[in-house]
Amino acid sequence: MYNDNPTLDNITQKLDPKLQGQVFDDEKSENPSQRKFYIESYGCAMNFSDSEIVASILAEEGYHSTREWQDADLILINTCSIRDKAEQTVRHRLANFNNIKKKKPGTLIGVLGCMAERLKAKLLDQEKLVDIVLGPDAYRDLPNLIRRAEDGDKGVNVLLSREETYSEISPLRLGTNGITAYISIMRGCDNMCSFCVVPFTRGRERSRDAYSIVAEAQDLSDRGYKEVTLLGQNVDSYKWTDPNTDEHVSFASLLVMVAKVNPLMRVRFSTSHPKDINDDVMYAIRDYHNICNYVHLPVQSGNSRVLKLMNRTYDREWYIKKVDRIYEIVPDCAITSDMIAGFCSETEEEHQDTLSMIEYAKYTMSYMFYYSERPGTLAARKYEDDVPYEVKKRRLAEIIRLQNQISYESNKRDIGKTFEILVEGDSKKSKEEHKGRNSQFKMVVFPKKAGIKPGDYVQVKIESVTSGTLRGTIV
């Protein structure tokens, strides 16, 4: 849909890793008789994290992962429904797999994740080559559905659960750099943002056992990982009660528990809902060096009337107060956002409010989209999707242009500053350079130095910047 404007498309692609398919492989199988699975993930970090749970379940069944889908006995695609474009990407990908069954008749194809949950058995009618349809709360049933599919019986399990958190399953880290990892701390979402399909595809919100989260962080630390990102659609509403002591664990206390695992292991988290993030979370960021100075705080729109239609439960003034409070408690905190252009009935003036919010909040980066109506959501049922496509696209382009400018200005203010960087690996462009991030999640590139390797912390002084990257030298 974007392809008539390649420049805009490039920017959006770059800023929206959520839409990029990612292939996982790690375990290299040496035994040719061993059954192999291939998994490809789309959508948000939760989906990538879920793929690691699925991989772990398959490893228990004796499967090994492969990078080549042509080699696999089982091809899985973990899907996203957030926007129409995300679903189209998956359908194109399924079309690519079309010939495999002629060449290798026994190959099984499974659709996992949010599209599976949204379309259920309909997916089997629409996509004839699919054998297995499995929703996000049903992954434990995968081995069972594989056995049934091997007998020629196509299977669907899209039951949503109020309890499932896969708490005790140790994820098989896939496509990993060995330094940064995701930890899923909750599932589902109880907010009903009117544009959003997630509550329908992921079910009710539930929090995972805090001790199993800490144990997973400890295990990652023992294996040399240096950064964990705690994941949930709305992490600030994490709540869990210890059944033995009746003690309540809030998100702020969970953050501190994870931070204490290893002071040299960074802790990040995503996503924060502006209505739920509180001072305690900000105090945890202020008080613990290894809790990063970074909050992803999606605003969606800068206009109060639109926010009300979106059912975000805060207005512009309330959001501004949140932003002020974050900068008050942690002055060098970076804030990033998500924004939707052209929601139902949005006027030009209301769009301007979103632009002015980018300037006010000084977002260092944002994920930016135009509104895509999702079947079954409150907005689809109640409001007309009446902003013309051309207008949505132009408003989105304005948002992207301004955000790039604000990101660039923010990065320019970093010239001359020295940051602690966690080295993640080679830069994209050169083997002579390392890349890593500062606490604020900004990508930093610098010439390699003898003895420095991925996983080390270095001090880098910033010398030049673009809107997306800082460059400097180790001091």
Tell whether residue 366 is a contact of ligand SAH (CB under 6 A): no
Tell whether residue 191 is a contact of ligand SF4 (CB under 6 A): yes
What angle separates helix 316-329 from helix 279-287, to the nearest 10 degrees? 20
Q: Which is nearer to ligand F3S, 51 or 427 (CB)?
A: 51
Tell whether residue 295 is a contact of ligand SAH (CB under 6 A): no
Alpha-carbon distances of 103 from 109, 193, 390, rounded to whole Å: 14, 45, 43
Alpha carbons 439 and 332: distance in angstroms, whole number: 10
Instruction: Pick out residues in 198-227 that bind ligand SAH (CB under 6 A).
Output: 198
Work out the burial of residue 311: count CB atoms within 10 Å of its CB; fewer than 13 is exposed, 13-18 middle, 19 or more buried.
middle
Residue 341 near which of ligand SF4, ligand F3S, ligand SAH, none (CB within 5-8 Å, type-dependent):
none
Judged by CB under 6 A, which of 57, 158, 196, 291 binds ligand SAH?
Answer: 196
| Minimal CB distance residue for ligand F3S | 43
Q: Which is nearer to ligand SF4, 212 or 301 (CB)?
A: 301
Judged by CB under 6 A, which of 12, 65, 66, 81 binds ligand F3S?
Answer: 81
Alpha carbons 444 and 296: distance in angstroms, whole number: 19
Judged by CB under 6 A, which of 107, 372, 403, 407 binds ligand SAH?
Answer: 372
Tell whether residue 43 is a contact of ligand F3S (CB under 6 A): yes
Tell whether residue 53 is a contact of ligand F3S (CB under 6 A): no
Judged by CB under 6 A, which of 24, 40, 47, 206 binds ligand F3S?
Answer: 47
Alpha carbons 203 and 342: distance in angstroms, whole number: 27
Tell whether residue 124 is a contact of ligand F3S (CB under 6 A): no
Is the peptide bond between 271 and the residue preceding it cis, with omega within 30 degrees of 0? yes
- Which among 33-41, 186-194, 211-219, 446-454 is the span making contact with ligand SF4, rule CB under 6 A? 186-194
Tell whether residue 440 is a contact of ligand F3S (CB under 6 A): no
Tell whether residue 186 is a contact of ligand SF4 (CB under 6 A): no
Assess contact for 138 and 203: CB atoms under 8 A.
Answer: no
Alpha carbons 414 and 326: distance in angstroms, whole number: 19
Interacting residues of 415 by C-beta distance below 8 A, sequence separation 6+: 462, 463, 464, 465
Judged by CB under 6 A, which of 108, 172, 284, 340 binds ligand SAH?
Answer: 340
Tell whether residue 198 is a contact of ligand SF4 (CB under 6 A): yes
Tell whether residue 82 is a contact of ligand SAH (CB under 6 A): yes
Q: Which residue has the tokens 């404007």?
A: 5
Assess contact for 218 and 265: CB atoms under 8 A.
Answer: no
